[in-house]
Amino acid sequence: MTTFGEFIAKRRKRLLPQNQVAAAIKQDDGKPLSVQYLNDIEHGRRGAPPDYVLVQLAKLLRVPLDILYFRADRLPPDIRKGAISDQQAAAAYRALRRELRRPKNS
């Protein structure tokens, strides 16, 4: 499976240069993301960035935010913060596995 960084790099290359993406993403202090930081993410030298960066990346790269959470091996905040029972978690994973087994053309 494609890594988070590989996914970001591939998608970004179709749309924008690396320096434009980095400049458009604001850190929590309001400063733009450094090109080096984005480059490190794309080359797997850093893990997935914080949620607020994922939100901005999703918009810039025109992908659903849930896809970035999936690629980052992270649960979205609305699921993370919710009260989830063991039974609900098991049912959700069963549903996910069922969906992943379906033919891609369905």
Q: Are 41 and 48 in contact (CB under 8 A)?
A: yes
Q: What share of the chain is helix, strand, coil (3-state, %, to 5)?
A: 60, 0, 35
Per-residue model confidence as pLDDT tens digits over 32-86: 999 999 999 999 999 999 999 999 999 999 999 999 999 999 999 989 877 889 9
Give the pLDDT of residue 106: 56
The ranges assigned to domains in the chain are 4-79
Q: What is the pLDDT of residue 99?
A: 94
18/60 Cα distance (integer angstroms):
11
Q: Please tell me the predicted confidence (pLDDT) of residue 104.
A: 82
Read off the pLDDT band of 97 (50, 70, 90).
very high
Task: For residues 32 and 26, give the distance between their C-alpha atoms in angstroms, rounded to a whole number.
Answer: 4
CATH architecture of 4-79: Orthogonal Bundle (1.10)
pLDDT of 105 > 80? The answer is: no
**Can you name the residues that pair with 26 across neighbouring β-strands?**
32
